[in-house]
């Protein structure tokens, strides 16, 4: 590994760990504004230091391990969730020259890495030896299986359109127009599946506080809980970044530097995640499953059929 790659990796880790607490603060402020209530406004100007205060609290909170838990898996699971999400950022091209790994099969690597986080959630839930945690873990696993298939079919449409599995080449193929123009159905499917993959409202059935206390992380406290929390927000950033790469033209845009365009597009998608959380209620679990299996997958298959037919017609 060259020094250049090492510096990029370290820089990416520092940026991700620094941005995640700011994202927590931004979500609180936006939710407060959308729901006409007070948000964090005491600790620091505009409550900017609230996330830092929360981090300090979690750092010094009692690190309790349930005596009935499987200790090794219980301790490893939160770290596994965070690392599996952070690894995905290594294949994302932020600009034409700023990336860590330029895999020829980057799309397949993304699909593989994005499905790993659920193992950490499920194992952590099982290792907690708590019935509410286990139910949350089982929900997360079923949710991932149901929506990963729809997400994969949406990505296949992108591959058919661009003729490449390489993420950087997919972005370069969108110089004239983003793929959202040609693949709006695939964009919708990918984004909805992304909400489910990230366990965000209206699909946060793995936590469902009114049913499962806090779901898979019920028995977690201190920094182990913080790692789960961090993994969730990094997952939102990861889904937003991949949506920008696959459908919104990546770093392409007029006037501004390429990296600025990438960041702006990701920020707008993160705002959409927060907006949906403020607007929509949590769906029932049977509705979640029915929507994934009986609607999204059928629409994704039909979109592939239409994409292939148009491709053959145009030669």
The pLDDT value given to residue 225: 85
Query: Could you give the percent of the chain with pLDDT greater than 90?
Result: 42
The pLDDT value given to residue 257: 93
Helices (H), strands (E): how many in the chain? 14, 0
Tens of pLDDT, residues 54-95: 888 888 888 888 888 888 888 888 888 888 889 999 999 999
The pLDDT value given to residue 178: 94
CB-neighbour burial class of residue 196 (10 A; exposed 0-12, middle 13-18, buried 19+): buried
Please state the separation of Cα 1 from the chain's center in Å.
Answer: 27
Mean pLDDT across 129-141: 86
Tens of pLDDT, residues 160-218: 999 999 999 999 999 989 999 999 999 999 999 999 988 888 888 877 767 777 778 88
Q: Which residue shows structure tokens 């760990």?
A: 17
121: nearest Cα among 208, 226, 228, 202: 228
The pLDDT value given to residue 5: 81
Question: What's the N-to-C CA distance of the chain in angstroms?
Answer: 43
On the CB side of 167, how many CA atoms lie within 13 Å of its CA?
31
Return d(Cα 135, Cα 272) in angstroms, integer.
Answer: 28
Q: Which residues lie below 8 Å from residue 26, measured CB to CB, with a gap of 6+?
A: 270, 274
Q: Which residue shows structure tokens 């049977």?
A: 286
């Amino acid at each position: 590994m060259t020094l250049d790659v090492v510096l990029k990796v370290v820089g990416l880790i520092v940026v991700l760990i620094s941005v995640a607490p700011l994202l927590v603060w931004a979500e609180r402020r936006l939710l407060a504004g959308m729901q006409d209530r007070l948000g964090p406004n005491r600790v620091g100007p505009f409550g900017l230091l609230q996330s830092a205060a929360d981090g300090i609290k979690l750092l010094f909170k009692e690190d309790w391990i349930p005596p009935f838990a499987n200790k090794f898996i219980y301790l490893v699971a939160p770290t596994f969730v965070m690392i599996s999400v952070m690894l995905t950022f290594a294949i994302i091209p932020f600009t034409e020259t700023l990336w860590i790994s330029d895999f020829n099969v980057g799309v397949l690597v993304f699909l593989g890495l994005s499905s790993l986080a659920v193992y950490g959630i499920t194992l952590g839930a099982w290792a907690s030896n708590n019935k509410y945690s286990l139910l949350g873990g089982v929900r997360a696993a079923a949710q991932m299986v149901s929506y990963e298939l729809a997400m994969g079919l949406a990505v296949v449409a992108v591959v058919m359109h661009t003729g490449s599995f390489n993420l950087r080449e997919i972005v370069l193929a969108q110089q004239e127009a983003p793929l959202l123009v040609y693949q709006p159905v695939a964009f919708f499917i990918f984004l909805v599946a992304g909400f489910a993959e990230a366990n965000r409202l209206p699909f946060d059935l793995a936590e469902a506080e009114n049913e499962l206390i806090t779901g898979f992380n019920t028995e977690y406290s201190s920094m182990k809980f913080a790692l789960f929390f961090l993994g969730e927000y990094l997952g939102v950033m990861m889904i937003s970044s991949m949506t920008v790469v696959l459908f919104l033209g990546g770093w392409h845009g007029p006037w501004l530097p390429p990296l600025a365009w990438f960041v702006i597009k990701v920020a707008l998608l993160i705002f959409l995640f927060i907006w949906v959380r403020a607007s929509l209620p949590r769906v029932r679990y049977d509705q979640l499953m029915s929507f994934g299996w009986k609607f999204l997958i059928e629409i994704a298959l039909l979109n592939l059929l239409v994409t292939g037919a148009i491709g053959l017609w145009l030669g």
